[in-house]
Structure 1
Amino acid sequence: MLRGGDPYKSRHRRRAKKVGAVGSFDKGDVDIRRAKQGGLCHYCGEVLEIDGPRKFQVDHFIPLSRGGTNMMTNIVCACPECNRDKGSKMPWEYRPARFAPGCRRD
């Protein structure tokens, strides 16, 4: 953790500012999001690890580089592999079947 700060807020705020994205979120928002997802990766459905080398990561559902915001409503929790593989793709480009018409986001 960063000295005296929230690692999610600091890291993502810098990235958002760089591309001109609005909004911010903090650890509490991430905790709410992870609970909403039932502790599962948003993309593959695997159990999210809280610590260790496979610790979950915060992903911008709509990437900052593609016009997404840095608000809580645009974040999801993902396993490191899904977050890495998705990169700057839109969710429906990364996992088309997961985001077909009629599928729920959560």
Structure 2
Amino acid sequence: MLRSNDAYRSKHKRRAVKYGARGSFDKWDVQMRLDKQKGLCHYCGEKLDWVGKRKYQVDHFVPLSRGGSNFMSNIVLACPECNREKADKFPWEFRPARFEVGCKRDS
């Protein structure tokens, strides 16, 4: 079902179209991701804010500009600082220690 009044869907869909990326997600997918991450930034592990200047941001795990999709399976939630610093890097370029042998993506 298309939810046309969904800010996440429309903002990221425009970016996905720009890069030719397939897929879409909505606010319900973002909520599921937030639950899965236990309210913590995917990259630094700090508690995410729900409102204000430090409100969590949706990040494409593999950047759209580098071939990532716009499907829910490619999104994580990050604090604004990590999202800005990661920019269009691959996650293993941004935080190599997070991807050493034995680390799990959602732990």
Map of 1:20 onto structure 2: 20
CA distance in 2, matches of 1:29, 1:36: 10
Identical counterparts, % of pairs: 67
Q: Deviation at 1:101?
A: 2.1
Q: Which residue of 2 aligns with 1:80?
A: 80
Cα shift at 1:102: 1.9
More moved, 35-44 vs 95-104: 95-104
Letter in structure 1 aligned against 2:57: Q
Structure 2: stretches of 5+ with no match in the other structure: none
Could you list the runs of 5+ residues in structure 1 that have no partner in the other structure?
Answer: none
Residue correspondence of structure 1 range 1-106 to structure 2 within 5 A = 5-106=5-106
User: What amino acid sits opposite 1:11 in the alignment?
Assistant: K
Q: What is the TM-score with the length of structure 2 in the denominator?
A: 0.94
Amino acid at match of 2:101: P
Q: CA deviation at 1:73?
A: 0.1
In 1, Cα distance between equivalents of 2:11 and 2:63: 15
1:25-75 per-position Cα deviation (integer Å, ceiling 9, x unaligned): 000000000100000000000000000010000000000000000000000
Q: What SS does structure 2 have at the residue aligned with 1:77?
A: strand
Amino acid aligned to 2:98: R
**Partners in 2 of 1:8 and 1:17 — Cα distance?**
14
One-letter code aligned to 2:60: H
CA distance in structure 2 between the partners assigned to 1:83 and 1:99 by the alignment? 17
Count of aligned positions: 103
